[in-house]
């Protein structure tokens, strides 16, 4: 297999509230021979607040990062679902409007042709490395672990922009978890919104949405929920009003199954508010 | 000639220029909406909105500018894209909401929620540091939103904050980007035109 190499865009949360996502991503990528080169001097994508209030800004902020990747001759692998959509939306909008593309080039003071490919790391691991290859490298199958794969909004929607998977019933993360030996459960809320950018602004709404998701996962028999986004993680892990469901990044579970060392996964796992340690211990995985 | 509409609120002014502006800026064929309610049925925020999305779209069609812009609907909108994904007429409802926010802010209408303040605080962090300074965002927003005076919520968030801090999940120092001047320039120029 040819070496897979990407320009890595962690996004702001991975330097702070989702540090464990970043750490586990690097370990997992290494185990799968994916080389991640962090984009030089990257900046925030603007997230929801960008597109909510200033359209041009919402394109220019991601475009600066994409232009940096283009200059380095790299395609981009993104860890955060929100950054992922902002990057994809920028490419999508600039591709069909050359006047706008030139205007954004002026704003960022860099050329950008618009041809840098953007992937989420879940796609890189499950599609590009491939489930068969992942399966071959599993050292510690996640046997007996019942998991609810949670996709949220921005991986799957808008489908014509992200082109990730079926927008109502995605299966990519379920299939990866199955390849790692776990049992993904069928449940009703895999693409329901977690409350996203209302995290601080309307905690009441976030709590209701998070509660609905966690209850649905529990009703389906899940022992933990798996995310591919640091913002989904933040909402689900910190805003559960009643339940105490452990929430785990897909990269942590992948790393664990591929044989991460205790000194590595202990650092990740102790950073969660609702600890996944008891269930992983009960299954003999740590 | 002013067009007026008799509604349950009495006589309301219709502004066709508003309808036209929203349609053009959101590249949306709003005239296609036939009130199937697919958008509002799947909307996770509808239960907290003054008007659910399908009603807001009808009001934009009719040009009821004041009622639309003074509603909380587009501030509550989570931009989750469920409505736009399911709309049988391919109306870009999330883009419509984005445009409504931009128009409302330009006209100085900040509505009844604290969400304009959240977005402004978030973007100010990016403008200042090039990335989001999460701890700074939480502290500044909590103070300026007045949440610091709401004891129950404050206690809940203080306990959570301590837990996160103990787990090393809140970086103390702000992040760094070398191209800070470049980022500032992007903000200055795009706010002039956007």
Q: Where along chain B do the CATH 1.10.1060.10 domains lie?
A: 3-106
| Contact: A43, B84; criterion CB under 8 Å | no
User: pLDDT at position B1, please?
Assistant: 62
Kindly determine whether residue B134 and residue A64, on different chains, have CB atoms separated by under 8 Å: no
Picking from B41, B79, B114, B139 by the largest number of A CB atoms within 10 A of its own CB, the best residue to mutate is B79
pLDDT tens string, chain A, 286 residues long: the values are: 568 999 999 999 999 999 999 999 999 999 999 999 999 999 999 999 999 999 999 999 999 999 999 999 999 999 999 999 999 999 999 999 999 999 999 999 999 999 999 999 999 999 999 999 999 999 999 999 999 999 999 999 999 999 999 999 999 999 999 999 999 999 999 999 999 889 999 999 999 999 999 999 999 999 999 999 999 999 999 999 999 999 999 999 999 999 999 999 999 999 999 999 999 999 999 9
Count of CB atoms situated within 10 Å of the CB of A9: 26
CA A273 to chain centre: 19
Q: SS3 for A156?
A: coil
**pLDDT in the model for residue A1:** 59
Measured at the alpha carbon of residue B96, what is the angle toward residues B90 and B102, in degrees to the nearest 5?
A: 160
| Three-class DSSP category at A263 | helix
Q: Measured between CA atoms, how close is B96 to chain A, in angstroms?
A: 10
A 43-72 residues inside an 8 A Cβ radius of B: 43-44, 46-57, 60-61, 64
Backbone angles phi, psi at A229, to 5 degrees: -155, 130
Q: Which of A273, A283, A216, A188 is nearest to A239 (CA)?
A: A273
Report pLDDT for B9: 83
Dig out the tokens for A229 from the structure: 């986004």
Dihedral of alpha carbons A80, A278, B134, B101, sign: positive
Phi, psi (deg, nearest 5) at residue B77? -45, 130
For chain A, give every domain's residue range: 4-119, 138-282
C-alpha distance from residue B28 to each of A40, B21, B57, B79 (Å) = 37, 10, 11, 16
Residue showing tokens 């968030």: B157
* B contacts of A103 (beta carbons < 8 Å): 193
E strands in chain A: 4-9, 34-38, 76-78, 118-120, 146-149, 183-184, 224-227, 247-249
Per DSSP bridges, beta strands A76-78 and B10-14 are unpaired
Task: Note the CATH number of domain A138-282.
Answer: 3.40.50.11810
Give ipTM to 2 decimals: 0.94
**Architecture of the CATH domain A4-119:** Up-down Bundle (1.20)
Q: How far is the C-alpha of A268 from the C-alpha of A85, rounded, in Å?
A: 26
- Please answer whether residues A232 and A194 qualify as being in contact, where contact means their C-beta atoms are separated by less than 8 angstroms: yes
Residue B95's Cβ-side half-sphere holds a number of Cα atoms within 13 Å equal to: 20
Determine contact, residues A50/A57, Cβ cutoff 8 Å. yes
Smallest Cα–Cα separation from A51: which of A79, A17, A83? Answer: A83
pLDDT at B10: 86
Tell me the CATH class for B3-106. mainly alpha
Q: What is the pLDDT of residue B194?
A: 44
Shortest CA gap B122–chain A (Å): 7
pLDDT digits (tens, 9 = 90+) for B49-74: 999 999 999 999 999 999 999 999 99
List the beta bridge partners of residue A146: A183
Q: Which of residues 178-207 of A touch B (CB under 8 A)?
A: 191-193, 195-198, 200-205
Instruction: Please give chain B's pLDDT, 194 residues, in tens.
Output: 678 888 888 889 999 999 999 999 999 999 999 999 999 999 999 999 999 999 999 999 999 999 999 999 999 999 999 999 999 999 999 999 999 999 999 999 988 899 999 999 999 999 999 999 999 999 999 999 998 889 888 999 999 999 999 999 998 999 999 999 999 999 999 975 44
Chain B window 151-190: which residues touch A at a Cβ cutoff of 8 Å? 153, 160, 163-164, 167-171, 175, 177-179, 182-183, 185-187, 189-190
Residue A75: CB atoms within 10 Å = 17
Contacts of A56 in chain B (CB under 8 A): 190, 193-194
């Amino acid at each position: 297999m040819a070496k897979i190499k990407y320009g890595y865009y962690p996004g702001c949360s991975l330097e702070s509230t989702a540090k464990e996502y970043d750490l586990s991503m690097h370990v997992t990528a290494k185990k799968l021979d994916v080389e991640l080169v962090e984009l030089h001097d990257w900046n925030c994508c603007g997230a929801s607040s960008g597109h909510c209030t200033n359209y041009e800004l919402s394109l220019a902020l991601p475009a600066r990062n994409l232009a940096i990747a283009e200059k380095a001759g790299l395609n981009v692998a993104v860890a955060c679902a929100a950054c992922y959509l902002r990057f994809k939306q920028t490419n999508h909008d600039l591709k069909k409007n050359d006047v706008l593309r030139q205007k954004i080039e002026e704003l960022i003071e860099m050329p950008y042709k618009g041809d840098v490919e953007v992937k989420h790391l879940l796609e890189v691991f499950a599609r590009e490395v491939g489930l068969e290859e992942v399966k071959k490298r599993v050292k510690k199958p996640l046997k007996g672990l019942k998991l609810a794969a949670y996709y949220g909004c921005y991986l799957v929607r808008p489908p014509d922009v992200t082109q990730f998977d079926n927008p109502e019933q995605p299966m990519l993360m379920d299939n990866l978890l199955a390849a790692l030996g776990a049992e993904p459960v069928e449940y009703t809320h895999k693409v329901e919104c977690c409350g996203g950018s209302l995290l601080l602004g309307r905690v009441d709404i976030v709590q209701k949405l998070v509660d609905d998701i966690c209850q649905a996962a529990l009703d389906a028999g899940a022992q933990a929920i798996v995310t591919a986004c640091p913002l989904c993680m933040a909402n689900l892990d910190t805003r559960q009003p009643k339940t105490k469901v452990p929430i785990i990044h897909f990269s942590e579970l992948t790393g664990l199954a591929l044989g991460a060392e205790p000194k590595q996964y202990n650092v990740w796992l102790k950073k969660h508010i609702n600890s996944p340690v008891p269930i992983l211990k009960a299954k003999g995985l740590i | 000639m002013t067009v007026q509409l008799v509604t349950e609120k009495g006589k309301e002014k219709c502004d066709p220029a508003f309808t036209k502006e929203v349609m053009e800026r959101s590249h949306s064929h709003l005239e296609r909406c036939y009130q199937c309610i697919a958008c509002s049925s799947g909307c996770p925020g509808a239960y907290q909105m003054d008007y659910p999305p399908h009603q807001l779209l009808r009001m934009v069609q009719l040009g009821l500018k004041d009622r639309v812009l003074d509603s909380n609907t587009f501030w509550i909108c989570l931009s989750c894209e469920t409505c736009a994904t399911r709309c049988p007429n391919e109306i870009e409802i999330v883009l419509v909401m984005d445009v409504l926010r931009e128009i409302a802010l330009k006209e100085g209408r900040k509505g009844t929620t604290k969400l304009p303040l959240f977005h402004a605080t978030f973007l100010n962090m990016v403008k200042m540091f090039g990335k989001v300074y999460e701890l700074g965002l939480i502290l500044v927003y909590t103070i300026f939103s007045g949440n610091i005076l709401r004891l129950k919520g404050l206690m809940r968030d203080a306990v959570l904050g301590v837990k996160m801090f103990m787990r090393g999940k809140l970086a103390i120092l702000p992040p760094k980007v070398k191209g800070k001047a470049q980022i500032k320039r992007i903000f200055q120029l795009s706010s002039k035109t956007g």
